[in-house]
Chains A and B, each alone.
Chain A
Amino acid sequence: MNAIIFSAIWGVVMMFSSAFLKNKNAIRLLAITGAALLLALNILELYQASQGVHFLSIDTKGMLAFETFGMLANTVAFASTLLFLLFSAKDIEEVGPNSGDYFALIFFVLCGVALVTSYNNLLMLFIGIEVLSIPLYILTGSSKRNLKGNEAALKYFLMGSFSTGLMLLGIAFLYGASPTGSFFIDDIGIGHGPVSPLFVVGLLLLIAALSFKVSAAPFHFWTPDVYDGAPTPFTSFMATVVKGAAFIAFIRLFADSFGEAQAQWQLIIAIIAAATLFIGNITAVFQQSVKRMLAYSSIAQVGFMLLAILSLKQIAQDGIILYIAAYSLATIGIFAVLGRLKDQTYEGFNGLAKQHPVLAFVSTIFLLSLAGIPLTAGFFAKYYMLTALLQTGKFLWLAIFAVLCAAVSVYYYFRVIQAMYFKEGVEQEIDASAGFKNLLIIDVILIILLGIFPQVLINALSILYL
Chain B
Amino acid sequence: MSTTQILFWFLSVLAIFSAIMVVASKNPIHSVLWLIAVFFAISGHYILLNAQFLAIVNLIVYAGAIMVLFLFVIMLMNMNADTEPQKNKWLKIAGVIAGGSLLLVFVAALKNADLKNQLAQVNHGDIGLISNLGMELFHNYVVPFEISSVLFLSAMVGAVVIGKKE
CB contacts (< 8 Å) of A96 on chain B: these are 166
Asked whether any CB of chain A lies closer than 8 Å to the CB of B150, the reply is yes
Give the interface size bracket for B toward A.
20 to 34
How many angstroms between the C-alpha atoms of A450 and B129 in the bound complex?
57
Query: Given A101-B160, A142-B161, do A115 and B114 touch, yes or no (CB 8 Å)?
Result: no
| Residue pair A11, B115 in contact (C-beta under 8 Å) | no
| Residue pair A137, B158 in contact (C-beta under 8 Å) | yes
Give the contacting residue for B112; candidates A98, A108, A121, A197; CB below 8 A: A197
Interface positions, chain B 135-164, Cβ under 8 Å from A, are 139-144, 147-148, 150-151, 153-155, 157-158, 160-162, 164
| Residue pair B166, A127 in contact (C-beta under 8 Å) | no
Asked whether any CB of chain A lies closer than 8 Å to the CB of B77, the reply is no
CB contacts (< 8 Å) of A138 on chain B: these are 157-158, 161-162
Asked whether any CB of chain B lies closer than 8 Å to the CB of A123, the reply is yes
B98-136, CB under 8 A of A: which get 1 and which 0? 000000011011111111000000000000000000000
Query: Given A196-B114, A197-B108, A198-B109, do A127 and B148 touch, yes or no (CB 8 Å)?
Result: yes
Determine how close the nearest CB of chain A comes to the CB of B140; give it in whole angstroms: 6
| Residue pair B105, A108 in contact (C-beta under 8 Å) | no
Determine how close the nearest CB of chain A comes to the CB of B38; give it in whole angstroms: 15
Asked whether any CB of chain B lies closer than 8 Å to the CB of A390, the reply is no
| Residue pair B154, A135 in contact (C-beta under 8 Å) | yes
| Residue pair A134, B151 in contact (C-beta under 8 Å) | yes
CB contacts (< 8 Å) of A134 on chain B: these are 151, 154-155, 158
Determine how close the nearest CB of chain A comes to the CB of B62; give it in whole angstroms: 14
Query: Given A105-B157, A108-B153, A176-B115, do A201 and B144 touch, yes or no (CB 8 Å)?
Result: no
CB contacts (< 8 Å) of A198 on chain B: these are 109-110, 112-113
Give the contacting residue for B158; candidates A105, A127, A173, A204; CB below 8 A: A105
| Residue pair A197, B153 in contact (C-beta under 8 Å) | no
CB contacts (< 8 Å) of B108 on chain A: these are 197, 201
Give the contacting residue for A63; candidates B114, B143, B160; CB below 8 A: B143
Interface positions, chain B 18-38, Cβ under 8 Å from A, are none
Interface positions, chain A 421-461, Cβ under 8 Å from B, are none
Determine how close the nearest CB of chain A comes to the CB of B77; give it in whole angstroms: 14
| Residue pair A127, B147 in contact (C-beta under 8 Å) | yes
How many angstroms between the C-alpha atoms of A15 and B160 in the bound complex?
11
CB contacts (< 8 Å) of A173 on chain B: these are 109
How many angstroms between the C-alpha atoms of A96 and B144 in the bound complex?
33
Query: Given A8-B150, A64-B143, A108-B150, do A201 and B106 touch, yes or no (CB 8 Å)?
Result: yes
How many angstroms between the C-alpha atoms of A176 and B155 in the bound complex?
30
Interface positions, chain A 192-223, Cβ under 8 Å from B, are 196-198, 200-201, 204
Asked whether any CB of chain B lies closer than 8 Å to the CB of A141, the reply is yes
Query: Given A60-B143, A131-B150, A197-B109, do A15 and B157 touch, yes or no (CB 8 Å)?
Result: yes
How many angstroms between the C-alpha atoms of A127 and B144 in the bound complex?
7
Determine how close the nearest CB of chain A comes to the CB of B104; give it in whole angstroms: 11
| Residue pair A12, B155 in contact (C-beta under 8 Å) | no
Determine how close the nearest CB of chain B comes to the CB of A344; give it in whole angstroms: 24
| Residue pair B153, A141 in contact (C-beta under 8 Å) | no
Identify the interface centre among B147, B154, B166: most chain A CB within 10 Å of its CB. B154
How many angstroms between the C-alpha atoms of A105 and B157 in the bound complex?
8
CB contacts (< 8 Å) of B153 on chain A: these are 8, 11-12, 108
Asked whether any CB of chain B lies closer than 8 Å to the CB of A144, the reply is yes
Identity of the chain B residue whose Cβ is nearest the Cβ of A138 in the assembled complex: B158
A88-113, CB under 8 A of B: which get 1 and which 0? 00000000111001101100100100
Identity of the chain A residue whose Cβ is nearest the Cβ of B159 in the assembled complex: A138
Asked whether any CB of chain B lies closer than 8 Å to the CB of A358, the reply is no
| Residue pair B109, A98 in contact (C-beta under 8 Å) | no
| Residue pair A135, B158 in contact (C-beta under 8 Å) | yes
Identity of the chain B residue whose Cβ is nearest the Cβ of A102 in the assembled complex: B161
Identity of the chain B residue whose Cβ is nearest the Cβ of A111 in the assembled complex: B150
Determine how close the nearest CB of chain A comes to the CB of B139; give it in whole angstroms: 8
| Residue pair B166, A124 in contact (C-beta under 8 Å) | no
Give the contacting residue for A108; candidates B111, B115, B154, B162; CB below 8 A: B154
A25-61, CB under 8 A of B: which get 1 and which 0? 0000000000000000000000000000000001011
Q: 10 A-B contacts, Cβ less than 8 Å apart?
A: A8-B150, A11-B154, A97-B166, A108-B150, A115-B147, A123-B141, A131-B151, A176-B115, A196-B112, A197-B111
| Given A108-B157, A144-B166, 20 new contacts (CB under 8 A) | A60-B143, A64-B143, A96-B166, A98-B164, A105-B154, A108-B153, A108-B154, A124-B147, A127-B151, A134-B154, A134-B158, A135-B157, A137-B158, A138-B162, A141-B162, A197-B108, A197-B111, A198-B112, A201-B106, A201-B108
Nearest 3 Cβ contacts at the A-B interface: A138-B158, A108-B154, A201-B109
